[in-house]
Structure 1
Amino acid sequence: MARTRNGGSGGCSIPHVSPTVAARRMHATTHVVQPPSQQSLHQTNLRLVKRKRSKRQHTRKGAYSTTSIQTLPRDSLVEVVATVAAHSFIDLHTIKLCCKDFLAAAPDRYVWQRVSLDTFPLIQWSPNNKETSFLNRCREYGNIESLYREGLRKYFNYPNGKIDDGVRILKIAAEKGHNEVKYVCGMISLCSDDDEVRKLGLEYMHFLRKLKCVVSCRKKVKQLLKSVWKNNVVLVRNSHPLCKVNSTCKGWRVKKDRWVLVDDDDDDDDDMSLCEYCRWDHELEFFYRLFNI
């Protein structure tokens, strides 16, 4: 006779079931599937939407998403067109043909103030109506390059021009941040015998030296002034050098066993400790040569 679970004997045996197994069986018979909550449904929908977007992006050519020009604010469009215009007038014409949005942003005053005039000579010997209208509009909107050119024309149109008025216009353009104008104003000021005027010229030139663009500005000024008649009465050589000890100053450069100037192959030195006065005495020699004085 088989022994019962509690030690007695009986006609049948009760198999031994562990408490853990019994609890699992009870849970399986009593568990009821709950309907999904609103939050879980929302999360599921979000996952599905993300999967669709990801699949759509991978089906396109390339893995990059683009932003439509139409979504850009007008200020951004104007800034893009103005940046292109400052590089080249030809590029401005090209970007206007790209799309209607750039074409609509092109007439903005800010674009006209920054548009480059590099393709236009300083003196328009035989201008057509379109060129005249364009240059007049640039002057009307306060284009910096236009101010620069007007100041040069008035300064060098001696004796018919107005030298003081030309200098005034050049200074306005320099204060607006035109580096070539700063170069011209700085060199003209250093030609003066007035110590206060020369001090202002030193400020302009020191600013350009820190930007390492003195030689590049000189080249652009030289190119622009090719068509200008330089009257020697306007500028004269200053007989008093800025550097009083240039014979021993370490700002001089030795090349091929002779003293030479800082030339086009050797832009502004990296060592700012070199003599500042000596550097501008060097540059004045280039400026004198440019005007045959």
Structure 2
Amino acid sequence: MAQKQKISSLESLPQDLLGDIISKVAKYGHRDIRNCLQVSHELAIACQDGRVSKNLNLMPLAINPLATLNKYQPLMEKCLQAGNPEAHYIQGIKEYFYNDNIEIGLPHLQASAEGERRMEEGKKYLDKLEWAKSTTRSDRCWTNIKESLEGIPILQETVLL
């Protein structure tokens, strides 16, 4: 008769709750998720939750987006399907700059900019500018940003059809 393995209190939680917990761990990086995958069957199942892929911290991969061309492609596809903003950023950079595919690259970059974490960061900055009291300071900052961006030259190639 096979002996049943004892599971921890954490592993005995419902899968939905485990998925929520693991999705918060995912914000710290893929190594932590890899460790969860190796700990137990229950945690490995929870790692398959879409919230984990959406929240997975991919910033180390964003430093070198071309590294995701081969080695991390399955992970990238899973994160893109889950709407991970960093995955969209990496894919946008690859498509726009490496593959010279503006039509595919820009929507990915837009999805990244609209990502949940970016929104939270933006709200924090706006709160620092006390925009809820008055938009004067934030409007002035936005004007300064736009003026500084005007000085960045962008070369656009003419495409002959």
* 2:38–2:44 Cα contact (<8 Å) kept: yes
Structure with larger Rg: 1
Alpha-carbon offset, residue 85 of structure 1? 0.8
**Deviation string for 1:84-142 (max 9, x for gaps)?**
1122112222333443321221122332222111111342258654x233223333444
Structure 2 Cα separation of the partners of residues 146 and 91 of structure 1: 18
Taking every aligned residue pair, what percent have the same amino acid on both sides? 21
**Equivalent pair of 2:26/2:56 in contact (CA under 8 Å):** yes
Task: Name the residue aligned to 1:211.
Answer: 124
* 1:284–1:270 distance in 2 versus 1, CA, 3 Å: same
Alpha-carbon distance between aligned partners in 2 of 1:280 and 1:73, rounded to the nearest angstrom: 46
- Is 1:161–2:74 an aligned residue pair? no
The 1:125/1:115 distance shift into structure 2, 3 A limit, reads closer
Tell me the secondary structure at the aligned position of residue 212 of structure 1: helix
Q: State the match for 1:123 in structure 2.
A: 65
Aligned CA distance change for structure 1 residues 151 and 104 (closer, same or farther; 3 Å) = same
**What is aligned with 2:158?**
none
Q: Which amino acid aligns with 2:74?
A: S
Q: 1: distance between equivalents of 2:19 and 2:112?
A: 22
Q: CA deviation at 1:156?
A: 4.2
* Residues 87 and 115, structure 1, Cα contact 8 Å, conserved in 2: yes
Q: Does 2:123 correspond to 1:279?
A: no
Matched, 1:269 2:122: no
Structure ranking higher in helix proportion: 2
Q: Is the 8 A contact 1:89 1:119 kept in 2?
A: no
Question: Aligned equivalents of 1:118 and 1:84: distance in 2?
Answer: 15
In structure 1, the residue matched to 2:80 is 139
CA distance in 2, matches of 1:286, 1:84: 38
Report if the CA contact (8 A) 1:81-1:105 is conserved.
yes
Q: TM-score, normalised by structure 2?
A: 0.64
Relative to structure 1, the CA distance from residue 105 to residue 286 in structure 2 (aligned partners, 3 Å threshold; closer, same or farther) is farther
SS in 2 for 1:124: helix
Structure 2 portions without partners, runs of 5+: 1-7, 155-161
Task: Tell me the equivalent position of 2:110.
Answer: 171
Question: Which residue is 2:4 aligned to?
Answer: none
Gaps of 5+ in 1: 1-66, 183-206, 215-267
Query: Which one has more relative contact order, counting CA pairs under 8 Å at least 6 apart?
Result: 2
**Could you tell me whether the CA contact under 8 Å between 1:155 and 1:161 is conserved in 2?**
yes
Cα distance change on mapping 1:213 and 1:94 into 2, 3 Å: farther
**Residue pair 2:11, 2:43 contacting (<8 A) in 1 also:** no
Q: What amino acid is the match of 1:161? A: N
Deviations 1:206-259 (A, max 9, x none): x92x42279xxxxxxxxxxxxxxxxxxxxxxxxxxxxxxxxxxxxxxxxxxxxx
2:15 to 49, 57, 74: 74
CA shift at 1:144, angstroms?
2.8
